[in-house]
């Protein structure tokens, strides 16, 4: 029985081979139609006809060899295309096989047009992405293709993105190298890690810098031994870049090298890496508080506070005499973090520092320590001859939640210095000084634009509905900023007719107050106290729980989101805590910093829904609010009342 089967199969193979040979012979026909019929028949046989065609392509018959080669090329391209793509674009294989390489780019761009090709699936488009990028004609097209590939996550193009990143140079206007790196990061292209690690061994100095940065951004723990080995080598390597990558990777293996490099030219980054990888050893950076470079001194002071290095308190007290204001500010903040309340007598004199920002940092430390006994001393500084100190004092009273100072602060509304008047407007609102609303309304006539804008916002914070008329008059202000602030306040006070003016500058988070007032109110009324160091995720969950809301995070939760959520959450530690709304806005509604020199992480924000807080990207929120505003603008409006 088996012999019969083998015999029949052999006969079938022989017959098919004879059929292929005859079809190849017909490729030499003088008849165009006959040649096309033979070519189509061979194409339909696919790989079964490939060996005979390969033999013909190497034969002495030049014309037949050329036709066989062309047919093999078409068959090779045809095999790379999906059935859905071939159905939507029937002539595509021939066009790609016989045309210029840029035909792949044109086909890919056309496939992204969902109106023209609604039936194409992700897989249909994905097979075009890599060749399309390879055939891009210029830097501008390359950048747009990288963005499209990242936006749709066409992962088959990852090897081509690596090649593009390595070989491109770009211009000031279009930078394919940065675009390729951004795409790899956006796609969390772990598939590229092996290639990048292999390139690390043979790369030029310029390439090595970028590879290391990308490995850190992609969270490649597998690369840690390679990076540590580079630090230990005697080669000319980008030490700062390696340390930054190891810092992102939080690799404990890097701590010894980071500690060893503290006296080096990369000492600032070495300190950052040590703090991230071995915070218990952070006292090793104390000598950097005396470094010649003020940026190094500032970094050292900040890290000592962040890592809870109580053993550094005496050294930080000494730094309060540093000649650079940013270093003094970092030291004061660190002392606040370290809960060094017993050193209050060293901090009180800093309230009279010539720099207002230093005064404010001292006030913040006092507030963190809940040093309410310092309020009378700070009130006295409201009459200081230096406007910088008066400005710092009024903001410090806000930090101390000093409602007993409201009348003293209100006197600063007549201060000669515009910054002091503006600060007084804002602080009176933050201290809920409702009885001062008429005085704040009068500040809408102030000669300084910033003061008028702050006063308009303060009336909104105080919910001063009895000052609506004054806000409507401010809509005629010469300043765009004042008109915007006045319109925003009017909308939030119930005057929705002014929504078009209030949203001209973008789509801010306060629109949630209009769309979901109940949820907004819950968050605003919630008071949050500092509860120790916590991650951003823990903080968001705490806000949602205490506001009786559910939390909805981005789905699927990407690596970049997870890294962001694992970062620190910030809650004001001072007197009175902070509202849940301010904590949410301060931690989420921001433009996220770039993770690397090449790769940016788009910002995150929030949208309130019924019973829940939805965390979304800024781009998604922008689309959402644009549609919502258009819907509101189409709705019938009530006649405006001039009350």
Give me the chain's average pLDDT, please. 85
Q: What is the pLDDT of residue 519?
A: 96
Distance CA 286, CA 263 (A): 11
Given the DSSP bridges, would you call strands 527-528 and 550-552 parallel, antiparallel or unpaired? unpaired
pLDDT at 419 exceeding the cut of 80: yes
Cα–Cα distance measured from residue 145 to residue 81, given in angstroms and rounded to the nearest whole number: 19
Average pLDDT on 31-59 reads: 72
Which tokens in the block code for residue 50?
A: 């490939």
CATH 1.25.10.10 fits 402-505, yes or no: yes
Residue 591: pLDDT band with limits 50, 70, 90: very low
pLDDT of 105 strictly over 50? yes
Phi, psi at 461, each rounded to 5°:
-60, -40
pLDDT score recorded for residue 2: 53
**DSSP conformation class of 579:** E
Tell me what the mean pLDDT of segment 182-191 comes to: 85
User: What is the distance between the alpha carbons of residues 74 and 394, in angstroms, rounded to a whole number?
Assistant: 77
Res. 144: pLDDT tops 90: yes
Q: Which of 43-47, 87-91, 168-172, 633-637 has the highest mean pLDDT?
A: 87-91
529 vs 16, which has greater pLDDT? 529
CB 487 within 8 A of CB 475: yes
pLDDT the model gives residue 620: 86
pLDDT higher than 50, residue 642: no
pLDDT above 80: residue 599 = no
Of the candidates 365, 311, 317, which has an alpha carbon nearest to the alpha carbon of residue 341? 365
Using DSSP bridges, classify how beta strands 527-528 and 578-579 pair: parallel, antiparallel or unpaired.
antiparallel
pLDDT at res. 11: 42
Higher pLDDT, 23 or 517: 517
Q: What is the predicted pLDDT for the residue at 46?
A: 65
> What is the reported pLDDT for 575?
65
pTM over 0.85: no
What pLDDT is recorded for position 320? 96
What burial class does residue 501 get, using C-beta atoms within 10 Å of its C-beta: 0-12 exposed, 13-18 middle, 19+ buried? middle
How far is residue 372 from each of residues 338, 377, 472, measured CA to CA in Å? 18, 10, 39
User: Is residue 601 predicted with pLDDT exceeding 50?
Assistant: no
Backbone angles phi and psi of 571, in degrees to 5? -130, 135
Greater model confidence, 535 or 15: 535
> What is the structure's pLDDT at 15?
62
DSSP at 607: E
The pLDDT, as a whole number, for residue 220 is 80
For the ranges 251-265, 526-540, 542-556, 598-612, which has the lowest average pLDDT?
598-612
What is the rounded average pLDDT of the residues 520-528? 91
- What is the phi/psi pair of residue 614, to 5°? -110, 120
pLDDT confidence bin for 234, thresholds 50/70/90: low
Mean pLDDT of 520-548: 88
What's the mean pLDDT in 104-115? 91
Question: pLDDT-based confidence at 296, cuts 50/70/90?
Answer: very high
- Smallest CA-to-CA distance from 592 within 546, 628, 554 is with 554
Instruction: Average the pLDDT over 507-524 and give the result.
Output: 90
- Answer yes or no: are the C-beta atoms of 423 and 452 closer than 8 Å: no
Q: Does position 634 have pLDDT exceeding 80, yes or no?
A: no
- The average pLDDT across 550-560 equals 81
Least trusted range by pLDDT, from 363-372, 467-476, 633-642: 633-642
On the question of pLDDT at 32 being above 90, the answer is no
* pLDDT reported for residue 598: 33
Q: Tell me the average pLDDT across 156-169.
A: 87
- pLDDT value of residue 615: 93
Average pLDDT score over residue span 145-166: 91
Per-residue confidence (pLDDT) for residue 3, from 0 to 100: 43
Please tell me the class of the 1-77 domain: mainly alpha
Has residue 409 got a pLDDT over 60?
Answer: yes
CA dist 46 and 588 (Å) reads 55
pLDDT confidence bin for 596, thresholds 50/70/90: very low
pLDDT at residue 182 in the model: 85
pLDDT at 442: 97
**What average pLDDT score do residues 139-167 get?**
91
Position 597 scores a pLDDT of 34
Q: What single DSSP character describes residue 605?
A: E
pLDDT at 576: 66
| Predicted confidence band of residue 7 (pLDDT cuts 50, 70, 90) | very low
Read off the pLDDT of each residue in 428-451 and give the average, rounded to a whole number.
Answer: 96
Please report the pLDDT score of residue 47 as a whole number: 67
Average pLDDT over residues 350-364: 89
How much is the pLDDT for 217? Answer: 80
- Give percent of the chain above pLDDT 70: 89
* pLDDT for the residue numbered 6: 42
Q: What is the pLDDT of residue 637?
A: 58
Mean pLDDT for the stretch of residues 375-394: 92
């Amino acid at each position: 029985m088996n012999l019969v089967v083998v015999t029949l199969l052999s006969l079938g193979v022989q017959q098919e081979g004879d059929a292929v040979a005859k079809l190849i012979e017909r490729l030499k026909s003088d008849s165009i139609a006959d040649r096309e019929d033979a070519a189509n028949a061979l194409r339909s046989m696919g790989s079964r006809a490939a060996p005979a065609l390969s033999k013909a392509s190497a034969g002495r018959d030049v014309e037949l060899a050329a036709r066989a080669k062309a047919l093999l090329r078409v068959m090779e391209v045809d095999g790379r295309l999906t059935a859905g793509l071939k159905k939507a674009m029937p002539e595509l294989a021939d066009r790609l096989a016989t045309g210029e390489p840029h035909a792949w780019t044109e086909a890919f761009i056309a496939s992204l047009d969902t109106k023209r090709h609604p039936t194409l699936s992700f897989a249909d488009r994905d097979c075009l992405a890599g060749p399309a990028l390879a055939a891009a004609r210029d830097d501008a097209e390359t950048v747009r293709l990288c963005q499209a590939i990242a936006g749709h996550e066409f992962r088959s193009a990852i090897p081509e993105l690596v090649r593009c990143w390595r070989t491109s140079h770009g211009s000031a206007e279009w930078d394919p190298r940065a675009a390729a790196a951004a795409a790899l990061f956006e796609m969390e292209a772990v598939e590229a890690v092996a290639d990048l690690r292999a390139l690390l061994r043979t790369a030029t100095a310029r390439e090595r810098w970028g590879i290391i940065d990308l490995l850190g951004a992609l969270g490649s723990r597998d690369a840690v031994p390679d990076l540590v080995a580079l630090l230990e080598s005697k080669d000319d390597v980008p030490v700062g870049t390696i340390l930054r990558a190891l810092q992102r990777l939080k690799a404990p293996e890097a701590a010894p090298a980071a500690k060893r490099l503290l006296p080096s030219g990369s000492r600032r980054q070495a300190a950052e890496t040590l703090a991230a990888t071995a915070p218990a050893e952070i006292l090793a950076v104390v000598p950097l508080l005396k470094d010649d470079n003020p940026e190094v001194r500032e970094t050292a002071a900040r890290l000592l506070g962040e890592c809870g290095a109580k053993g550094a308190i005496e050294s930080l007290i000494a730094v309060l005499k540093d000649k650079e204001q940013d270093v003094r500010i970092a030291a004061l903040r660190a002392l606040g973090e370290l809960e060094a309340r017993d050193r209050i007598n060293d901090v009180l004199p800093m309230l009279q520092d010539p720099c207002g920002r230093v005064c404010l940092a001292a006030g913040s430390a006092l507030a963190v320590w809940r040093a309410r006994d310092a309020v009378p001393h700070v009130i006295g500084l409201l009459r200081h001859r230096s406007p910088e100190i008066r400005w710092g004092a009024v903001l410090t009273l806000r930090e101390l939640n000093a409602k007993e100072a409201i009348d003293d602060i209100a006197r600063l509304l007549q201060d000669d210095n515009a910054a002091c008047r503006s600060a007084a407007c804002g602080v009176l609102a933050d201290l809920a000084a409702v009885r001062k609303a008429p005085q704040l309304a009068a500040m809408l006539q102030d000669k300084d634009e910033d003061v008028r804008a702050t006063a308009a916002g303060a009336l909104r914070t105080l919910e001063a509905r009895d000052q609506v008329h004054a806000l409507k008059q401010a809509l005629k202000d010469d300043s765009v900023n004042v008109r915007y602030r006045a319109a925003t306040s009017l909308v939030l006070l119930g005057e929705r007719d002014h929504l078009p003016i209030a949203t001209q500058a973008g789509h801010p988070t306060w629109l949630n107050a209009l769309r979901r007032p109940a949820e907004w109110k819950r968050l605003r009324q919630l008071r949050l106290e500092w509860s120790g160091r916590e991650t951003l995720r823990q903080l968001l969950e705490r806000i949602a729980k205490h506001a009786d809301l559910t939390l909805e995070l981005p789905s699927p939760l990407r690596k970049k989101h997870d890294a962001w959520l694992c970062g620190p959450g910030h809650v004001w530690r001072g007197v009175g805590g902070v509202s849940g709304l301010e904590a949410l806005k301060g931690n989420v509604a921001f433009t996220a910093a770039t993770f690397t020199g090449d790769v940016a992480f788009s910002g995150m924000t929030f949208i309130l829904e019924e019973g829940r807080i939805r965390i979304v990207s800024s781009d998604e929120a922008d689309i959402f609010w644009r549609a919502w505003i258009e819907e509101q603008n189409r709705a019938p409006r009530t006649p405006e009342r001039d009350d």
